[in-house]
Amino acid sequence: MQQGVIFNIQRFSIHDGPGIRTTVFLKGCPLNCAWCHNPESQYSLPEIMVRSERCRGCGACLAACNQGKVLIKEGKRQPQRCAACGNCIALCTQGALELVGRPVTTEEVMQEIMKDELFYDQSGGGVSFSGGEPLLQPAFLESLLLASRQQGLHTVVDTCGYAPWEVLARVASLVDLFLYDVKLIDAARHIEYTGQPNQLILENLQRLTRIHGEIEVRVPIIPGVNNDQASLAKLADFLRPLPILGVKLLPYHTFGVAKYAHLGQSYRLPEQLDSAAEAVQFGADYLREAGIALL
């Protein structure tokens, strides 16, 4: 039985593929996007989030820690990580501590997924695997996809594309629909904003289109990062020859900002970007004009 680490299962997920779906969020991501709204998805292992605004500094968590780790100091989550044993959580009287991510077996996940089988039947929905980056746990993902196939479920994989081609190729036949993220075509800026080069991502997408016909490209539109004409033009030039279903633009939002502090991290982009909707509108108009199908 395969095991993996997930940080959430979201039922009634209606914006990650067709119909009513259950989305399984696998923990761990090779990228570190500046705008990421799920920062707790990036680290591959379970970790402790601290809602420091609830902490009253009683110190019960420190006493419980057998490693002597200090996660919270002067009301603030420190950046260090621990083994996330969770001993401290039960002792916190304020409910300030939360364990994010837990190891689970394929069977456990499938049990949760199958609870909404009737909703999938009714709506033409199914299961989606997202993250983090699901391809970062290839054997676990493959076993989940295989088990879903055996149950006759429609499968979606939502990926950033940053994985060895062999991994992508191996699961492709088990996936009904790919949601494939493309952030930036400019290599240098890609490194600047995500921490990794984009060559592998773009090549993987080109190769994937040769063996898979159901690919929806998703582009988060980040004002000041990739919504300028030059970026959009490069994006259009790259996508135009590819046989994809189309492109969906995702508006920038800041719902996840508070979680950075809960993890002892800092948010790199300005917290107030109020032109998100206009940026998406502009991007959509531009790409459509440039011959790209919008979804």
Partner 1 sequence: MNQRVQRLREESLSAVPHISIERAQLVTEIYREHSGKVSVPVLRALTFAHLMEKKSIHIGEGELIVGERGERPQATPTYPELCCHSLKDLDLINSREKISFQVSDRVREIQAQEIIPYWQGRSMRDHIFNEMSEEWINCYEAGIFTEFMEQRAPGHTVADDKIYRFGMRDFQTQIREQIAKLDFAHDPEAYDKREQLRAMDMCAEALIRFAERHAEKAEQLATVTEDAERRRELLQIAQVCRHVPAHAPRNFWEALQMYWFVHLGVITELNTWDSFCPGRLDQHLWPFYQAGIAEGTLTRDEAKELLQCFWIKFNNQPAPPKVGVTLAESGTYTDFANINVGGLRPDGADGVNEVSFLLLEVIDEMRLLQPSSNIQLSKKNPDRFLRRACEIVRKGWGQPSIFNADAVVQELLRQGKSLADARAGGTSGCVETGAFGKEAYILTGYLNLVKILEITLHNGFDPRTGKQLGPKTGEADQFTSFEDLIAAYKQQLEHFVDIKVQGSNIIDRLYATRMPAPFLSIIIDDCITKGKDYNAGGARYNTNYIQGVGIGTLTDCFSAIKEHVFTTGRLTMAELMQALAADFAGYEQEQRLLSGATPRYGNDLDKADNIMRELFQLFYTTVNGRPTVKGGVYRINMLPTTCHVYFGSVTGATPDGRQAGQPFSEGISPVQGADRHGPTAVIKSASKMDHLMTGGTLLNLKFTPSLLADEAGIKGLMQLVRTYFRLDGHHVQFNVVDAATLRAAQENPEQYRDLIVRVAGYSDYFCNLSRPLQDEIIARTEHQQFYLWQPQR
Query: Interface with partner 1 by CB under 8 A: which residues?
Result: 6, 8-12, 14-15, 19-20, 93, 95, 98, 102, 104, 108, 111-112, 115-116, 118-119, 122-123, 125, 255
Q: Find the Cα–Cα–Cα–Cα dihedral 118, 170, 181, 18, rounded to 10°.
A: -20
Tokens for 148? Answer: 């879903």
From residue 233, give the alpha-carbon distance in Å to each of 145, 174, 228, 255: 36, 33, 9, 29
Contact of 151 with 110, CB cutoff 8 Å: yes
User: What sign does the CA torsion over 113, 116, 117, 121 have?
Assistant: negative
17 vs 223 by CB, closer to partner 1: 17
Report in angstroms the alpha-carbon separations of 59 from 12, 18, 68, 122, 248: 39, 47, 12, 51, 47
- Cβ proximity to partner 1: between 19 and 138 the closer is 19
Angle at 157 between CA 262 and CA 132, to 5 degrees: 20
CB of 130 to partner 1, least distance (A): 12
Contacts of 124 (CB under 8 A, 6+ apart): 18, 19, 154
Q: How far is the CB of 115 from partner 1 (least distance, A)?
A: 6
Minimum CB distance to partner 1 smaller for 108 or for 228: 108
- Closest to partner 1 by CB, 74 or 255: 255
CA angle 169, 30, 172 (to 5 degrees): 15
Report, in Å, the least distance between residue 41 CB and partner 1. 12
Can you tell me the distance from the alpha carbon of 76 to that of 280, in angstroms, rounded to the nearest whole number?
Answer: 35
CB of 24 to partner 1, least distance (A): 9
Residue among 27, 34, 69, 23 at smallest CA distance from 50: 69
Nearer to partner 1, 22 or 198 (CB): 22
As measured in angstroms, the least distance from the Cβ of 191 to partner 1 is 29
Residue closer to partner 1 (CB basis): 118 or 187: 118
- Residue 26 CB, shortest distance to partner 1, in Å, is 12
